[in-house]
Chain A
Amino acid sequence: MIRKLLAFHFWLVVLFLLAPLIFLIPISLGESQFLEFPPKQLSLRWYREFFQQESWMEALSLSFRVGLGATALSVIIGTLASVALVRGNFPGRSILTALFIAPLIVPTVVLALGLYMVFLRWQLVDNTLALTLAHAVVALPYSILLVSSSLRSFDMTIERAARTMGAGPFKAFMLITTPHLAPSIFAASVLSFFASFDELIITLFVSGGQQTLPVRIWNDLSLKIDPTVPAAAVMLTAVSALLMLAGEMVRRRNEAHNQNSHNAEE
């Protein structure tokens, strides 16, 4: 009895969590100017509209440029730092780790205000590169968390074996350790990209007139209800869900691969 109640409660919670998705897809497929649920007539009109309006396309392109840049920065900088944090033996390691992860927990508005003041002083407001760097700060914690945990589980003797066979430290790392890290680096890229792609508050403060996709949606909301927004939202969600799925498949394959090589050894 209690078990049934618990199950019922749980599925209600899941329904509640998925509610936006459940309603947004039919709403986005409506035909009318006004958002309605259920839609009277199904059409892809607003999806077409999204790709035909220049302002949406510009926002999409800016979001992609900033997102890819921030992802590259976060993953490269984060992987390098993780190697030092996991393998190095120096004081202050845990403080540094906490510092690199801190952007996850510090309220974004506070950071946005601070960045805005810094960017005003250095005349970097409205600068795409500066925006990308700011996004990299928000994305960095994901790379640090994922790559260092994967590095910690790596068996150093294999890399040492490569070193004794005559490989230089860089070659040994690239040939032996990087393949082991690949899934976590991929997952870090996905999360970093999503963190940047979804970032709104910092961008609102420092981007000046430039609009990323979330800023474009935000600006729309305060003016009128634009029926293109649900279509844009559904596509955004589809892209992130696909990325997540890809990350999961890479992880699974790698796990299976590790399992096999273990079995082969035995």
Chain B
Amino acid sequence: MKAKQNWRLMALLLPAIALICVLFLNPLVGVLIQSFVGDDGFTLKSISKLWTSRLARVVLERTFWLAFTVTVICLLVGYPAAYYMSQLRPRKRAMITYLVLLPFWISILIRTYTWIILLGREGLVNNALQWLGLTEQPVQFLYTNFAVHLGMVQILLPIVILPTVAGMVNIDGGLIKAARVMGASPIRAFWSVFFPLSLSGAATGGLICFILSLGFYVTPTLLGGQKSLIIANLIDLQVHKTLNWGFAAALATALLLATLLCLLIFWLATRNRPEFATGGLSR
């Protein structure tokens, strides 16, 4: 009876398995294969271009550096904001969480588009700077690294803040009180007790932020211009302009492996730490 029921239940999985196999695993495996296949069978030509081609090296380096700097900025800006949220009463915190979540519901494309309007030569920011007499000439904001960072941090900040808050809320307040009773100053109690305990949530947020940054396409393309080509742009160019499928697939493979590697490192570093068991996302 029990076994039969299990079979019936497993049948319910079939549509999902079919969809994921045909339109998720199949394309990903196709990309992997494509990066090892040339005109005459197996080849390492495409893959080896990842380190022999100067363009690929520069773009890979730039992508990782961009993801890293965006993540660091998000953590630095997001951590104090998360701390403020974690100290509020649950009711107020829930209300404020909506505010932080609200931008999720604005398309990434549109959020990026707004920066184009605001940062342009005739845009609000430049007009304000000139009106204040800070600059004579319009400042070039668009198509710079600054614009790319601004746009990406705006999009990824909630993704860092929310797991960090969840991690902080789980910290037992009694521990901080105990530290205070034992004579620690508020600052000492924060740095030696609260901060280490809050790292699990912040690390989770930072990891998700880093992985998503690696694959970002819309924002760097629209705000970055020619000089800040990153992996996703290069893949697009190889497919639509130079029609070099092998190289496009090799770049995609590199991106995929980097993502998996991040997850693996995170898993290895946290599997024996119970506070990570929920990934800081439990609440």
List the interface of chain A (C-beta within 8 A of B).
6-7, 9-10, 13-14, 16-21, 23-24, 27, 34-35, 37, 73, 76-78, 80-81, 83-85, 87-90, 96, 99-100, 102-103, 105-111, 113-118, 133-134, 136-137, 140, 144, 194, 198, 200-201, 205, 214, 217-218, 221, 225, 229-230, 233, 236-237, 240-241, 244
- In the complex the two chains form, what is the Cα distance from A238 to B22 in whole Å? 35
B26 interface residue per 8 A CB criterion: yes
B72 interface residue per 8 A CB criterion: no
Q: How many residues of B contact A (CB 8 A)?
A: 73
- In the complex the two chains form, what is the Cα distance from A126 to B232 in whole Å? 22
Q: Convert B1-41 into 0s and 1s, putting 1 for each residue whose CB lies closer than 8 angstroms to a CB of A.
A: 00000100111110111011001111111110010000000
Would you list the 7 A-B pairs with minimal beta carbon distance, nearest first?
A: A114-B27, A107-B215, A81-B16, A20-B114, A88-B9, A233-B110, A240-B105
Known A78-B16, A107-B255: A23·B124 in contact at CB below 8 Å: yes
The reply to whether A108 and B15 contact each other, CB–CB distance below 8 Å, is no
The reply to whether A84 and B99 contact each other, CB–CB distance below 8 Å, is no
Q: Convert B214-251 into 0s and 1s, putting 1 for each residue whose CB lies closer than 8 angstroms to a CB of A.
A: 11011000100000000110011001000001001100
A23-B117, A100-B20 known; 7 other A-B pairs, CB under 8 Å? A23-B114, A77-B15, A84-B13, A106-B259, A113-B252, A201-B217, A205-B239
With beta carbons under 8 angstroms apart, the residue of A7, A117, A136, A214 that contacts B34 is A117
CB distance from B82 to the nearest CB of A (A): 9
Q: Convert B90-123 into 0s and 1s, putting 1 for each residue whose CB lies closer than 8 angstroms to a CB of A.
A: 0000001001101101111111011111100011
Main secondary structure of the interface of A (DSSP, over half): helix
Known A18-B103, A109-B215, A237-B105: A133·B252 in contact at CB below 8 Å: no
- In the complex the two chains form, what is the Cα distance from A73 to B18 in whole Å? 12
The reply to whether A109 and B105 contact each other, CB–CB distance below 8 Å, is no
With beta carbons under 8 angstroms apart, the residue of A90, A105, A117, A205 that contacts B10 is A90
A–B pairs, 8, beta carbons within 8 Å: A14-B96, A17-B100, A20-B115, A109-B252, A113-B252, A133-B23, A137-B23, A237-B107
Q: Considering only CB atoms, which chain A residue lies closest to B118 in the complex?
A: A23
Known A13-B77, A81-B16: A106·B107 in contact at CB below 8 Å: no
